[in-house]
C-alpha cells in the first residue's frame, strides 16, 4: 500500500507542479486516493510464477479445403502467454487472399460436395463422432485454451470443454429434425415450405471464450447443412485450429470447415465484404459489430447475427438472501477474469441492505484466489493481454478519481503477466464511467437504489441489453422485473446459467439474433415456399 501511495503522490506532485491553478485540485485528488486506499487488504494470491503448460502446440497453420497450409503471404504472427507476455507460438497470418481461398473451398463444398447432399442422419453422425473425439481430448484442448487465454484450467477442463461437447451433441440431434410445413391455402393448391441451408457462413469469434463461442456458431451451421469459414481472434487462435483437426478425423468432408487465423482489418474485413459469403455471425464489441454490419450492407447484403457488448444489471432486492446474492454477484462479475459480455457489472442493491452487502462483497473479493491458471484452487488468472490490462487499470483510476469508494483491490499483482486484484467499488453513481462503460475486467461496481420503479429506470438507462440478474424471494417482484428489464436473458436467483437449449442474445446495441437453442437454427436456414396447382383434389 505504501509503495502504491508513494507512486500516486509522485505522479500527482509532478502534475500539480505544472500549474498553480491545478494544485488545489490535485491535492484534493491525492487526499481522496489516501482515503480510498487506507485499510484495503490484498486479495489471496497463489504463486503467479508460471508452470510449464502440459501440452505441445502442433497446429499453427490455416485450415483450407481440408488441408493445413501456410498463409499465401508466408507471414506469421505471435500468440502470447498472458501469464508472462512470452510468445507461445507463431501462427499463420491469413489475409484477404487466404479468405478468398477459404471461401472458394467452402463454396465448392456447398455447391458440389457431399455435405448438403448427404442425409441429415449422416451429418449428425459425423458431428457426434467429432464430439466423441473432443471429449477424448478434453484435457489437451483445455490446456491449450488456458495457455492461450489465461482462463483457469479447472474452468476450461471441467466446465467449458464439456459444454462444447454437449452443444455439438445437441445440434447433432437437431440435424435430422429440421423440416418445413404444409400450409393450407384458399384454392386448389398444395403449399409446402422447405427449410434449406443458407450456404457459406462467415463466422468471427472473440478471445474471451474462443472454443465455446466457436461451438455456438459452427454447430448449428453444420447441422443445417452449411459450410463455414471461421476467423479466429488474433489473441487466441490455437484451440480452434486444434479441434479442426479432430473434425477432419471425424470424417468432415474437405472445405466444409475452414479456419483462418488473422487480424480484423485484413482477414475479418475481407470475410465480411466477400460477395460469395451468404451469412455472417459475429461475437465481439459493439463498435466492431457496427463495422461488420456496414461491410455486409456494402457488399451483398448478407444477413448478420451479432452478439455484442453489455453492461448488465444485477439487482438485489430488500428481501433477498444476502449471502447467496453476494456469492452470485461475485461470480456474475469476476467469472473468467471479468472478461464476459454478460457480466453483472452494475450491482444494484436496495438501500436497506446496502451496507451489509458491501462489506460481504468486499470480504468475498479479498478471499478470491488469483494466480497461475494451471494451478489447482486458483479462481482467477491473468487478463488476456497488455491492452486489456491497461484499459482495466485506467477504469480503476477513473473510479477513484470520480469519487467512488475503493473497497478492495485496484492494483496489479506481480511484475510480469497481466494479473489484477479483484476490485470492488461502492458509492458508485450512474454517471461514472465505471457504471456506464463495459470494462471487461475484475471490477465490481455496487450502486444503491430505493424502490423497483427507480431501479427499473436506472437498469434500463443504457445502450446495452444483453442480460440481467434479479435476487428476490418475492415472485411478484421477480415477475415485475423479468418483464420490465430490457435484456435478452434475465436470471432469477442465479446467474450465468448456460445450456445448449437456452437462447442467448441482446436487446438494443447488445446485438441482433440469437445463438444456441432452436432459435440459432433460423439464422442458418432459408425458407422457401413451394406452391403446386391441384386438379380435382379430394380435399383442400
Query: Under a CB-based contact definition with an 8 Å cutoff, are residues 307 and 282 in contact?
Result: yes
Query: Under a CB-based contact definition with an 8 Å cutoff, are residues 76 and 91 in contact?
Result: yes
CA 243-57-166 angle, to 5 degrees, is 25
Query: Under a CB-based contact definition with an 8 Å cutoff, are residues 211 and 164 in contact?
Result: yes
What's the per-residue H, E or C state across 251-288? CCCCCCEEEEEECHHHHHHHHHHCCCCCEEEEECCHHH
User: What is the C-alpha to C-alpha distance for residues 93 and 74, in angstroms, rounded to an integer?
Assistant: 8
Query: Under a CB-based contact definition with an 8 Å cutoff, are residues 81 and 50 in contact?
Result: yes
Q: Quick check: is 97 catalytic?
A: no
Query: Under a CB-based contact definition with an 8 Å cutoff, are residues 75 and 242 in contact?
Result: no
List b or e across 448-466, with b for residues whose CB sees 16 or more CB atoms inside 10 angstroms.
bbeebeebbebbbebebbb
Q: Checking phi first, is residue 441 left (phi over 0); if not, alpha (psi -120 to 50) or beta?
A: beta
Run of H or E residues at 63: strand 62-64
Query: Under a CB-based contact definition with an 8 Å cutoff, are residues 130 and 246 in contact?
Result: yes
**Residue in 234, 307, 379, 407 annotated catalytic:** 307
β pairing state of 304-307 and 511-512: antiparallel
Residues acting as catalytic residues: 307
Amino acid at each position: 500500500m505504501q509503495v502504491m501511495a508513494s507512486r500516486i503522490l509522485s505522479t500527482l506532485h509532478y502534475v500539480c507542479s505544472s500549474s498553480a491553478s491545478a494544485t488545489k485540485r490535485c491535492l484534493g485528488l491525492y487526499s481522496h486516493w489516501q482515503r480510498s486506499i487506507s485499510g484495503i487488504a490484498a486479495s489471496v494470491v497463489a504463486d503467479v510464477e508460471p508452470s510449464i503448460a502440459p501440452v505441445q502446440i502442433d497446429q499453427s497453420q490455416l485450415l483450407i479445403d481440408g488441408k493445413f497450409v501456410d498463409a499465401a503471404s508466408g507471414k506469421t504472427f505471435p500468440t502470447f502467454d498472458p501469464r508472462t507476455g512470452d510468445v507461445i507460438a507463431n501462427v499463420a497470418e491469413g489475409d484477404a487472399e487466404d479468405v478468398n481461398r477459404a471461401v472458394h473451398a467452402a463454396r465448392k463444398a456447398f455447391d458440389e460436395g457431399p455435405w448438403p447432399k448427404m442425409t441429415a442422419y449422416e451429418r449428425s453422425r459425423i458431428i457426434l463422432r467429432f464430439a466423441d473425439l473432443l471429449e477424448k481430448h478434453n484435457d489437451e484442448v483445455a490446456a491449450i485454451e488456458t495457455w492461450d487465454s489465461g482462463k483457469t484450467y479447472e474452468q476450461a477442463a471441467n466446465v467449458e470443454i464439456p459444454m462444447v461437447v454437449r452443444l455439438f451433441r445437441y445440434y447433432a440431434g437437431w440435424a435430422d429434425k429440421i423440416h418445413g410445413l404444409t400450409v393450407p391455402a384458399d384454392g386448389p393448391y398444395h403449399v409446402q415450405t422447405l427449410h434449406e441451408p443458407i450456404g457459406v457462413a462467415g463466422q468471427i469469434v472473440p478471445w474471451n471464450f474462443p472454443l465455446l463461442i466457436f461451438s455456438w456458431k459452427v454447430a448449428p451451421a453444420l447441422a443445417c447443412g452449411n459450410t463455414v469459414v471461421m476467423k479466429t481472434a488474433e489473441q487466441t487462435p490455437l484451440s480452434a485450429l486444434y479441434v479442426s483437426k479432430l473434425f477432419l478425423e471425424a470424417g468432415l468432408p474437405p472445405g466444409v470447415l475452414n479456419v483462418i487465423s488473422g487480424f480484423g482489418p485484413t482477414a475479418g474485413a475481407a470475410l465480411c465484404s466477400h460477395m460469395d459469403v451468404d451469412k455472417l455471425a459475429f461475437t465481439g464489441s459493439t463498435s466492431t459489430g457496427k463495422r461488420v454490419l456496414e461491410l455486409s450492407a456494402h457488399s451483398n447484403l448478407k444477413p448478420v447475427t451479432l452478439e455484442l457488448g453489455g453492461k448488465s444489471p444485477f439487482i438485489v432486492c430488500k428481501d433477498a438472501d444476502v449471502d447467496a446474492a453476494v456469492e452470485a454477484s461475485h461470480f456474475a462479475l469476476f467469472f473468467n477474469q471479468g472478461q464476459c459480455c454478460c457480466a453483472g457489472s452494475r450491482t444494484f442493491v436496495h438501500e436497506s441492505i446496502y451496507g451489509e452487502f458491501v462489506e460481504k462483497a468486499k470480504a468475498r473479493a479479498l478471499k478470491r484466489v488469483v494466480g497461475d491458471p494451471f494451478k489447482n484452487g486458483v479462481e482467477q488468472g491473468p487478463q488476456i493481454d497488455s491492452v486489456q490490462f491497461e484499459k482495466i487499470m485506467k477504469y480503476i483510476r477513473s473510479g477513484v478519481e470520480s469519487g467512488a469508494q475503493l473497497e478492495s483491490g485496484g492494483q496489479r499483482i506481480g511484475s510480469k503477466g497481466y494479473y489484477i486484484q479483484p476490485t470492488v467499488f461502492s458509492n458508485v453513481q450512474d454517471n461514472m464511467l465505471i457504471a456506464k462503460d463495459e470494462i471487461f475486467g475484475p471490477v465490481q461496481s455496487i450502486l444503491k437504489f430505493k424502490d423497483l420503479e427507480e431501479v427499473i429506470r436506472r437498469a434500463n438507462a443504457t445502450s446495452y441489453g444483453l442480460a440481467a440478474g434479479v435476487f428476490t424471494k418475492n415472485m411478484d417482484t421477480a415477475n415485475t422485473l423479468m418483464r420490465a428489464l430490457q435484456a435478452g436473458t434475465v436470471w432469477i436467483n442465479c446467474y450465468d446459467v448456460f445450456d445448449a437449449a437456452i437462447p442467448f442474445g441482446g436487446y438494443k446495441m447488445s446485438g441482433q439474433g440469437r445463438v444456441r437453442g432452436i432459435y440459432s437454427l433460423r439464422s442458418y436456414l432459408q425458407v422457401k415456399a413451394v406452391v403446386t396447382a391441384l386438379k380435382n383434389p379430394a380435399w383442400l
